[in-house]
Amino acid sequence: MYEFAVTPAVTQLRRPGVTITEVSQGSLGEELELQPNDRIVKVNGRTVRDYLDFRFQTGGETDLTFHVRKTTGELIEIEFDRDESEDLGLMFEQIMPRQCANECLFCFCKGNPEDARPSLFVRDEDIRLSFLYGNYTTLSSITADEMNRIVEQRLSPQYVSVHATDLRTRAYLLGVDEKRADIFEKLQRLLDNDIEIHAQVVLCPEINDGTILEKTLRDLAAHFPKVISTAVVPVALTRYNTDERLTAVTPEFCRQTIKQVEKLQKEFRKTLGTTFAFLGDEIYIKAGAEIPSRRHYGNYPQIEDGVGMVRSFLNSFEKVVNRGDAVAQREISSATIVTGEMFGPILQEQIDRYNSLNGTKIKVLAVPNTYFGGDVAVAGLLSGKDLLAVRDQIDSDLVIIPSHIIKSDEPVLIDGMRFDALTAAVDLPIYPLDLKGLQQFLSGTPVEKISHTYEWQRNPRNRAAVRHPATV
């Protein structure tokens, strides 16, 4: 699940062309007198619908003709040639996501508090964003035009929420009729055209588990290597998603799922040479089970979906933990690292080792998520209110929070609280870092020098869609 930087305006969806947002100084675009807010509507006579079309239609072309709608309304034609590798120096508006036509039982939008920031309510279902950012689509309402586009423009891989290959179950989960839920032919067409697929199953106890899960994983594995991998992630219930057809994921359910899927993973490793069906980290943590080894995850094909993130962290933390030079950093000994309740114990164990080897006194604070409630315990969904609720427990000189809890293009937390308001209320320096940034910090890099600390300040024009923070 992913979040968009900007809530789409429906009125903009049908406007032809793509709007320029920036023209680099000294670039070919500047030479052509292109300006921010100009709209490129055609390239070499072909209509441009968005940035992807523009990229596709200009790629490899040296003789180009643009039809450009200027802000005055005037339509002009620009004919030019360029060297093969010459960049135009143009930045474009974000793609406005197409919205889904499903009513999924477990839709994350239903689980949001009403005052959550508006971008969390965008129900995107867009093959372009699937290709660009790994957003999942269900393919249920994909048009013939979109199917053609995936094939023509080679928008591969695509990330597809399959949930179940049993049609009745899939339709039930998506809240649509079986005809709409049936994506067999569409998937087949993509695979026949060598479009690669990463699949996802949101696992709902008593609905798509047990024999239905086994059938789903076997059906998908039959298409390996074009279906590259499948992620199985547990449904997350907040206190707002109270649909009585949904059952909470318990530790016992996780243990049973691990046992069931482990058998299939062994089989797939033997027959396909890959684990193929990967369980979300949350399942292992909830089960109290050991996180699988590095080999299990291969090249971490679904790490952004919270699959293998903990293993990746633990392995890279090994390189950090013995770094004696970290103690040279004065600030390091008095930091508090804030995380969610799920990742808290894992991080605590690593920081304990780090402290004893480096003589530091770094603290880990696992914060309960009262904003979403339910069984939400991931760090990425902590709100400003949750952080303020634990203010009294922080007695260090600086605080590190997970960077994903802040919107990528502006300093706003998930409940709409602004970052500067949080900093003022906590009255301490706060540094948002991702796991990589945290490791840099523990390795001795001064916290203010960690490059992605303030993404919105570094690149305020970044309008790209960003991943939903539903990971560890």
Could you tell me which residues come within 8 angstroms of residue 134 by beta carbon, excluding any fewer than 6 positions away?
A: 2, 159, 198, 304, 305, 467
Query: Which is it for strands 227-234 and 197-203: parallel, antiparallel or unpaired?
Result: parallel
Q: How far is the CB of 125 from ligand SF4 (least distance, A)?
A: 6
| Residue with Cβ nearer ligand SF4 (67 or 98) | 98
**In the complex, minimum distance from the CB of residue 245 to ligand SF4, in angstroms, rounded to a whole number:** 14
Specify the residue, 173 or 258, whose C-beta has the smaller distance to ligand SF4: 173
User: Smallest distance, Å, CB 241 to ligand SF4?
Assistant: 11
CA 222, 228, 234, 238 torsion: positive or negative?
negative
At residue 237's C-alpha, the angle toward residues 161 and 203, to 5°, is 35
By beta-carbon proximity to ligand SF4, the closer residue of 54 and 131 is 131
Q: From CA 134, how far away is CA 471, in angstroms rounded?
A: 14
Q: How far is the CB of 141 from ligand SF4 (least distance, A)?
A: 9
| H/E segment holding residue 457 | helix 455-458
What is the closest distance, in whole angstroms, from the C-beta atom of residue 174 to ligand SF4 in the complex?
6
Question: In terms of CB distance, is 50 or 125 closer to ligand SF4?
Answer: 125
Give the span between the Cα atoms of 35 and 436, in whole angstroms.
Answer: 37
Tell me whether residue 38 or residue 304 sits nearer to ligand SF4 (CB atom).
304
Do 248 and 237 meet the contact criterion of CB atoms below 8 Å apart? yes
Whichever of 130 and 360 has its CB closer to ligand SF4, that residue is 130
Q: What are phi and psi of 91, to 5 degrees?
A: -115, 145
Residues of this chain, 275-314, that bind ligand SF4 according to CB under 6 A = none
Cβ at position 359, least distance to ligand SF4 in Å: 48
Q: Which of residues 72-111 bind ligand SF4 (CB under 6 A)?
A: 100, 102-104, 107, 109
Binding of ligand SF4 by 339 (CB under 6 A): no
The gap from C-alpha 283 to its chain's centroid, in whole angstroms, comes to 18
Binding mask 130-149 for ligand SF4 (x = CB under 6 A): --------x-----------
Closest approach of ligand SF4 to the CB of residue 232, in Å: 16
Q: Does the footprint of ligand SF4 cover residue 125 (CB under 6 A)?
A: yes
Contacts (Cβ under 8 Å, ≥6 apart) of 135: 2, 97, 124, 126, 129, 159, 465
Partners of 3 in the β-ladder: 466
Q: How far apart are CA 326 and CA 354, in angstroms?
A: 10
Total binding residues for ligand SF4 by CB under 6 A? 9
Distance of CA 174 to the CA centre of its chain: 21
Q: Is 21 exposed, middle or buried (0-12, 13-18, 19+ CB in 10 A)?
A: middle
**Tell me, what amino acid is at 97?**
P
Interface characters, 180-219, with ligand SF4 (x: CB under 6 A): ----------------------------------------
Nearest-angstrom CA–CA distance, 429 and 336? 11
For position 123 contacting ligand SF4 by CB under 6 A, the verdict is yes
**Least spacing, CB of residue 204 vs ligand SF4, in Å:** 12
x/- mask, ligand SF4, residues 227-266, rule CB under 6 A, reads: ----------------------------------------
- Beta carbon nearer to ligand SF4, 237 or 335: 237
- Asked if residue 430 lies in contact with residue 401, where contact means CB atoms within 8 angstroms, the answer is yes
CA distance 219 to 52: 32
Q: Cβ closer to ligand SF4: 1 or 32?
A: 1
* Cβ proximity to ligand SF4, 216 vs 329, nearer residue: 216
Cα gap 67→40, rounded to integer Å: 6
Q: In angstroms, what is the minimal distance from the CB of 239 to ligand SF4?
A: 18
Give the H/E segment covering residue 198: strand 197-203
- Tell me whether residue 76 or residue 248 sits nearer to ligand SF4 (CB atom): 248
Report the SS3 class of residue 356: helix
Give the nearest distance from C-beta 103 to ligand SF4 in angstroms: 6
Q: Which residues bind ligand SF4 (CB under 6 A)?
A: 100, 102-104, 107, 109, 123, 125, 138
